[in-house]
Amino acid sequence: MPDSVQRMACDSTHIRPPYPGYFDHVGAQLEKDRQRARPPESEFDGARAELRAELATIVEELAPQLIALAKDLHDHPETAFDEHRSVAALVSLLNEHGIDAKADVFGVETAAVADLPGDAPDASSRRVAILSEYDALPGIGHACGHNVIAASGVGAFLALAQLRQRHPEAIPGRVRWLGTPAEEGHTGKEYMARGGAFEGLDAAIMIHPYGYDVTDQVWLGRRTLNVTFHGQPAHASAQPFMGVNALDAASIAYQGIGLLRQQMLPVDRVHTMMSEGGDRASIIVERAQLKMYVRSKYPDTLRDLSQRVENVCRGAALMTGCRVDIDWDEHPPSLPVRSNKELEARFAAAMVDRGRRILPGGVLPETIAASTDFGNVSYRVPGIHPLVKISDESVALHTAEFAQAAASPAAETAISDASFALAATALDFLSDDELAQAVAEEFEAAGGAVDVPSYFDAKDPS
């Protein structure tokens, strides 16, 4: 061990930064896997080639407006449920193109909706939704690049609207645009879903910016948990034996979670902080609280892990004689994303048309995973949430560097490419009956629609 490392290891006056070597190993393997990987191929034809080509031309014409929209959002970031200016900007661009878009829908003020002019008024034809997110993060603005999502979703929708104007018979189905706020730290799409936003849809598609072009990446299901231990206060010196210590219960639960991690699935995560732990060292703590996030790769494993976490907390209460309140999901939980491979393959074909060598799912390491409320959409209707490269591979989401990337020339190219690819995927889905059938069959084979609001009511799958 070099001297400097040895000194750091023994020196409690400095932070010892985590050793970053893991990234080098993962990166080396990823590079090999990436060289071997090929974009997924679709066995379906999708829409007619000349219509897809015309979509590309339309997107080129729209690009300056889409880029201006993305820049405007980037310059005026708004956080979850507060995106009033952002949603107004999206709606007004659609209105300028003669589309009747409106905000404050499905019970969410900053949500929005528009239907493609010329859509059949009844439910006789297939319907696909294209989603736009637009919320930012507190303090660092569009560090998740939702301005790019917003512009790409609007771009795809406008491109399809213009295609129908030019060729009234070109789109044999219905297209809905949905403005979906409050993804960061919230589950805006779940509130919209409970307001009916995803009813009557046959598919829902969106993109997210990233450091890679990839059709699918692991997105973990996520629940939140507040655990409050109630004890009995006592003078910590004169009568400690008359106290019931809530902090002891919280401490045992915290450590129990630490031990539980050894037996969890490799990609699963539980993170915990102590949000209350007493007021004064001389009083046996009457009330202590842990706040947790519990994440897992599949809905049923998330349900199982939730039960195990809850058991640890109940055990800690029993050991200390405390009473415990277990409060799950202050906000609605997110399910993992269940991505539809048939739709992915059509999206990949469109990205290949744009000269992007998009990776299939399973190439990027699944241990580097977060969560999204699109998961809840993907368990209601077939959906995709592919990632579009706007930054260097090493740049992580939710950093100042990624916020910069979200306003870079690479983001501008990504908006054009993603607008085209989303529009082409929607057109393929509406045009190709065999593809649509395969999409539906895959969805059903994977378990079909799930009743998301009640999913975690049945607690123990065993």
d(CA 292, CA 302): 14
Which tokens is 6 given?
């040895």
**Distance in Å, CB of 140 to Zn ion, minimum:** 11
d(CA 160, CA 139): 36
**Chain position whose Cβ is nearest to Zn ion:** 144
Q: Measured at the alpha carbon of residue 376, what is the angle toward residues 354 and 103, in degrees to the nearest 5?
A: 75
Nearer to Zn ion, 222 or 354 (CB): 222
**Distance in Å, CB of 142 to Zn ion, minimum:** 9
Nearer to Zn ion, 283 or 370 (CB): 370
Strand partners of residue 221: 296
Nearer to Zn ion, 144 or 405 (CB): 144
> Of the listed pieces 31-39, 138-146, 173-181, 197-205, which binds Zn ion according to CB under 5 A?
138-146
Q: Return contacts of 53-59, CB within 8 angstroms, 24+ apart.
A: 54/163, 54/166, 54/167, 55/159, 55/160, 55/163, 55/420, 55/423, 55/424, 55/427, 56/353, 56/420, 58/158, 58/159, 58/162, 58/163, 59/155, 59/159, 59/416, 59/419, 59/420, 59/423
d(CA 168, CA 176): 17
C-alpha closest to that of 380 among 179, 177, 186, 193: 193
Nearer to Zn ion, 213 or 432 (CB): 213
**Distance in Å, CB of 371 to Zn ion, minimum:** 9
Nearer to Zn ion, 131 or 163 (CB): 131
Size of site (CB under 5 A) for Zn ion? 1
Q: For the chain, report the end-to-end CA distance as a whole number of angstroms.
A: 48
Bridge-based pairing of strands 174-179 and 108-115 is antiparallel
* Contacts to Zn ion from residues 146-205, by CB under 5 A: none
Nearer to Zn ion, 166 or 271 (CB): 271
> Of the listed pieces 107-115, 122-130, 140-148, 230-238, which binds Zn ion according to CB under 5 A?
140-148
C-alpha closest to that of 397 among 125, 183, 199, 229: 183
**Distance in Å, CB of 141 to Zn ion, minimum:** 12
d(CA 14, CA 9): 9
Nearer to Zn ion, 188 or 233 (CB): 188
**Distance in Å, CB of 144 to Zn ion, minimum:** 3
**Distance in Å, CB of 396 to Zn ion, minimum:** 10
**Distance in Å, CB of 152 to Zn ion, minimum:** 13
* Residue 335 interacting with Zn ion (CB under 5 A): no
**Distance in Å, CB of 223 to Zn ion, minimum:** 17
> Of the listed pieces 65-73, 137-145, 155-163, 261-269, which binds Zn ion according to CB under 5 A?
137-145
Considering only 89, 90, 111, 144, the residue that binds Zn ion (CB under 5 A) is 144
> Of the listed pieces 74-82, 143-151, 287-295, 435-443, which binds Zn ion according to CB under 5 A?
143-151
Which tokens is 12 given?
């409690």
**Distance in Å, CB of 63 to Zn ion, minimum:** 22
Nearer to Zn ion, 144 or 343 (CB): 144
C-alpha closest to that of 178 among 196, 162, 163, 166: 196
C-alpha closest to that of 292 among 310, 270, 311, 276: 270
> Of the listed pieces 144-152, 210-218, 300-308, 407-415, which binds Zn ion according to CB under 5 A?
144-152
Q: Side chain identity at 242, as an amino acid letter?
A: M
Nearer to Zn ion, 141 or 243 (CB): 141
* Contacts to Zn ion from residues 348-407, by CB under 5 A: none
Nearer to Zn ion, 144 or 384 (CB): 144
**Distance in Å, CB of 178 to Zn ion, minimum:** 16
Residues that bind Zn ion (CB under 5 A): 144
